[in-house]
Structure 1
Amino acid sequence: MSHFYSLLPFSSIVAAYGVKQMLGFTGLGFVFFVVISLLLLIPALLQIFQYYLKYDALTFHIKTSQVINQKHTLNFIAEEGIAEYVKRNSAKDDFVLQWGYNHEFYVLAQRRASLRGHLASTLMTDPQLNDAMYINWKKDVLSDIEKLTPAFIVDFDGSLRIETVNKVSGHRYKLEKNVYGIYPLYRLVDTHTSRKRSTATEILKSLTENDTRRTINNKIFDSNSVYIKYVNNLVMKDRLKEADIYSEGGITEMFDDWRRINNQ
């Protein structure tokens, strides 16, 4: 985290002192070391003080996200309310799926990811970053949706086309709500109603490595991701009222839910 960077000079001095200590570091040299260390430490502590004590926890999160230029800061505020809803409306043995940049949703919802192990870590990052690292990742995700049948799919990125998921998996997902006005939450309403399992498997097999980028990228991604990023950007610029207008009051509701869940 970049708000700890100011501690690096002081830490470097301490490390250097360890080396000097082995060589014998006494007298005026030691006094000089203490003075320099304090001069470096005090500004660092003052900077950390403003992050940890000046702001409430929610404002602290937004302020630190501004410093590190975090483009998905609302995801980590919205996840708690969305996870609470999913947990309340699903069974303990249900699978769920998050799509987009997030780290904690499955833990907060106390539900299993409808993904094999290596795919779970893949979907914790920005989906568009995975194309360069794992060419067939979308094909494998769709395959796991078809096999594990998540009860809910939440789109933190805004780039998922549920019509494609329905077509390939043979399941039918329907928009439950746009949580906080920006995050689509889809609920499973039926399984294999429009297609037999064998047909869904054939569709997946037809998505060869050469077709993966052209077929899946063109059909899964849409412009809702631009909208989510825009609202995030408004919040990062402290234009909360404007963000609330775009989300139809969703940002205020999101912050209220976060404070309620965290007893703030």
Structure 2
Amino acid sequence: MPSLLDMRRRIKSVKNTQQITKAMKMVAAAKLKRAQDRVTAARPYAQKMTAVLGGLSAKVAEEFSHPLLTPRGDDKYLVVVVTADKGLAGAFNANVIKAAQAFVRENEEKEIGMVTVGRKGRDFFKRRSANISDEYIGLTGTGTVRYSDAADIADNLIKKFTEDESIDKVFLIFTEFRTVLSQKPVVEQLLPIPSIESADEEETSVEAEYIYEQPPAEIFGKLLPKQVVTQVYRAMLESVASEQGSRMTAMDSASKNAGELIDTLTLNMNRIRQAAITKEIIEVVSGAAAL
């Protein structure tokens, strides 16, 4: 049976841990609010830009071609895995990594290269000797994402895709933020940019008609790279918001568990103290009776 001093030390240790988890929960909640606002602001623009460019690319496919639109084969993939730089975020990193592993298993006959954004994904796949061509560390540690960082990643992906003709498709694997308690890993094709072809005649009949003030080549030459940057930026924003939401939930659960453990340890400590007091009383009574 542990001594009374050991129990007090253990209770103090758990209380100190509980203070840390409470502080981390408050920090994550503050970062989550900012990240959630950014996701809410960026998501409609990214979705509308994808819809517009996807519809336009399907219309002008016969008269215009661009390297970021032209379909290729289906043999070599480049996968961009977006994780966090830090842990203590519940199952956030594990879920993204599991989604990436599942994607690799489903396409095991393909040649797959990786680009990792975040330390956790980099460390995991490096230990398993994955083919990692580029890694980006320290971009999301502060809870914010800079557009310039997303632009650098996107420019590198565009360069790889256009210069290395053996890369057939580029995929993004990240966590989509839904609510504080709900985040879902998703896999999206980034390159070539998928076209949207409507098969519904009724929907086609009300489609908007676009008038080009410049030739399509000039318009798409500027908009398509910007679309890739926008999608990478949105994926990183979604990932940061999901990370903070998952961390806040995990730290809240840890604080509650610490409270329950403190109650249990306090009860055991009181029992040990009561047993010690009872033993001392018995010894005093026994000594008095012997005299």
The normalised TM-score by structure 2 is 0.33
The higher-RCO structure (CA 8 Å, 6+ apart) is 2
